[in-house]
Amino acid sequence: MAGTIDYYYSHLSPWSYLGHQRLINAAKQANTTINFRPIDAGKVFAASGGLPLAKRPVQRRNYRLAELRRWRDESGLALNLQPKFHPTPDRCSAQIAIAAQLMGLDIGALSFALMRGCWAEDENLADEDTVAAIATAEGLDGPALLERSKSEDVAARFEQYTDEAIEAGVFGMPWYIVDGEPFWGQDRLFFVEKKLGL
């Protein structure tokens, strides 16, 4: 049985959104701890040769939409293929999630709510009031989390997670490392589950 899962993701990644709850469910079933690591997708792409969506060839962008349709239908999750506020910077949503983590709150549930905000509800995850409102809707103290998210230790943790991802060879989101073995993409969760003994 695996001991831990290092989970590198961005709230602005639809693939992270599509696989997020399945990962949490698998970890619970396997009695395995998830180390949640929201990261700066832009820095990871820059370090690994990836391109932001707007700079990818039209063929790749079109195929991405076809795959999103398939995975949306397969998962049953609400997903807007072209949300109003995408792409936006990762920092605001990542840091409020990290603030929750450092305060001992459920970062997994909050991250899913943030992802749903972007991908199903056309919320702007770069807007402070919006992310605080999403946290409040999850039963948390949104204003307090927002205040904590602006602290130096939270900003440092965001940078740390991003640097760890680059060091670990991450080049896309979501990325799972199970006892040292890497898996890229929510479509690899079948193999993650096998690794967990499920």
Residues carrying an active site annotation: 13
Q: In Å, how far are 83, 90, 158 from 106, measured between CA atoms?
A: 26, 19, 17
On whether the CB atoms of residues 25 and 19 are closer than 8 A, the answer is: no
Would you give the distance in Å from CA 150 to the centre of its chain?
Answer: 19
Q: Name residues whose C-beta falls within 8 Å of residue 113's C-beta, 6 or more positions apart in sequence.
A: 134, 135, 137, 138
Nearest to 74 by CA among 18, 29, 112: 18
Query: How many helices (H) and strands (E) are present in the chain, helices listed first?
Result: 9, 4
Query: Would you tell me how many other CB atoms lie within 10 Å of the CB of residue 61?
Result: 12
